[in-house]
Structure 1
C-alpha cells in the first residue's frame, strides 16, 4: 500500500485524485487545497486541509500546482527527508526544496475537469535523485497506468515542447476550422471523421509519411484559392507559414 498526499486542486490534481481513489493499493491520506470547495465533491472534508502544519505523513507527496507556485509550496512543507514530487512538464527537479527527497511524476496528457480520461493509457514520466525513490514512483505509476518512463528534466522539457505542437497548437487549428465552418453554416462534425483518421494514422505511419494535402503536392492553384478565401489576415499568414513548413520538410 502506497500512502499519498496530493497538494493542489487543479485539473491534474483532480484527475490524479480520482484515479488513485479507485486504486486499492493506493491510500489518499490527504489533499492540501487552499479552497476546500474546489475538491470537496471528490473527497470527504476531514481529509482536506489548507494548513501546512496539518499535513500528515505519507510515502509520496505530489505537488500538482502551477509551475510558478511549485517552489513556494515545496519550501513551505514543514517536514524533511520525505519524497516530494511535482507533476510539471517543464520545471526541473531542482525547483523542489533541498530539505526533502525530490522527484517528478508527470502524466503526459491534456486534462479538462469535465472530461473523463483513461489513465491506464497515459504515459507517466518519472525522475528521482536515487534508485529507491524511483522504485516507489514506478510502483505508483504502474498501479494507475500501463506506461511509465524514466525521463530526465531535459528530456521532459523537450517532450513538453513537442506536446504543445501536437496538442495545443493542433487544437487551436481545430478552433480555426470550427470557426470557418460556423461562418459558412457548415456542421463542424463533418470534419470529425477526418480528424480521427488523421490522428489514428500516425499510430501506423510516421507523421512525415502520413502527410497529405495541397502543400505536399505543391498544388499552387488550390493554395492560392484557399488564401484568397480566408478573410482573416492572421489565418492567411498561418496558412502560408504552415504550407511553407510542410514544403520545407518534403525537401529533406
Structure 2
C-alpha cells in the first residue's frame, strides 16, 4: 500500500484524487489546500487540511498547483527527507526544495473537472533524483492503470511544448472553425467526424504522411478563395501562417 498526500485543488489534483481513491493499493492520507472550501465536497472521503504543519507521514507528497507556486510551496513544507513530486510539464525538478527527495509525476493529458478521465489512457512522465524513488512512482502510476515514461527535465519540457501545439493550439483552431460556421448558420457538429478521423489517422500515420488539403497541393485558387471568405483579419493571419508552414514542410512554393 502506497500512502499519498495531495497538495492543491485544481483540475489535476482533483482527478488524481479520484483515481487514487478508487485504486486498490493506494491510500490518500490527506488533501491539503489553502482554502478548504475548494475541496469540502470530499470531506467524507479523505482528511482535509489547510495547515502545512499538520501534514502526516506519507510515502509520496504530490504538489499539483500552478507552476509559479511550486517552488514556494515546497520550501514551506515543514518536514525533510520525504519524497515530494510536482505534476508540471515545464517546471525543473530542482525547483523543488532540496531538503526533501525530489521528483516529477507528470500526467500528460488535458484535465477539466467536469470531464471524466480514464487514467489507462494517461501516460505518466516520471523524473527522480534518487533511483529508489523511481520504483515508488512507477508502482503508484501502475495502481491507477497508467503507463510510465522516464524523462529528464529537458525531454519533459519539449514534450509539454509539443502538447501545447497538439492540444491547446488545436483547440483554438476548433474555436476559429466554430466562429466561421456559426457566422453562416452552419452546425459545427458536421465537422466532428472529420475531427475524429484526423485524430485517428495519426495513430497509424506520421503527421507528415497524414497531411492533405490545398496548402499541401499548392492549390492557389482555393487558398485565394478561402482568404477572400475570411472576414476576420486574425483568422486570415492564422490561415496564411499555417498555409505557409505546410508549404514549407512539403516543399511547395509560397504564394
TM-score (norm 1): 0.98
- Tell me the residue number matched to 2:59: 59
SS in 1 for 2:228: helix
- Tell me the residue number matched to 2:94: 94
CA distance in 2, matches of 1:169, 1:79: 40
- Tell me the residue number matched to 2:123: 123
RMSD of aligned Cα (Å): 1.1
Q: Is the 8 A contact 2:104 2:127 kept in 1?
A: yes
Instruction: Give the C-alpha shift of residue 78 in structure 1.
Output: 0.3
CA distance in 2, matches of 1:203, 1:234: 31
- Tell me the residue number matched to 2:6: 6
Instruction: Give the C-alpha shift of residue 44 in structure 1.
Output: 2.5
Q: Is the 8 A contact 1:36 1:45 kept in 2?
A: no
Instruction: Give the C-alpha shift of residue 149 in structure 1.
Output: 0.5
Q: Is the 8 A contact 2:28 2:46 kept in 1?
A: no
1:112-138 residue CA offsets vs partner (Å, 9 max, x unmatched):
010111111100000001111010001
- Tell me the residue number matched to 2:42: 42
- Tell me the residue number matched to 1:178: 178
1:209-234 residue CA offsets vs partner (Å, 9 max, x unmatched):
00011001111000000001001001
Deviates more, 1:38-47 or 1:113-122: 38-47
- 1:190-229 equivalences in 2 (<5 Å): 190-229=190-229
CA distance in 1, matches of 2:131, 2:59: 15
Instruction: Give the C-alpha shift of residue 45 in structure 1.
Output: 7.7
| Runs of 4+ off more than 3 Å | none
- Tell me the residue number matched to 1:16: 16
CA distance in 2, matches of 1:190, 1:21: 38
- Tell me the residue number matched to 1:112: 112
CA distance in 1, matches of 2:146, 2:107: 12
SS in 2 for 1:139: helix
Instruction: Give the C-alpha shift of residue 42 in structure 1.
Output: 2.9
1:128-187 residue CA offsets vs partner (Å, 9 max, x unmatched):
011110100011011113310101100000000000000000000000001111111000
CA distance in 1, matches of 2:130, 2:206: 35
Structure 1: tracts of 5 or more residues without a match: none
Structure 2: tracts of 5 or more residues without a match: none
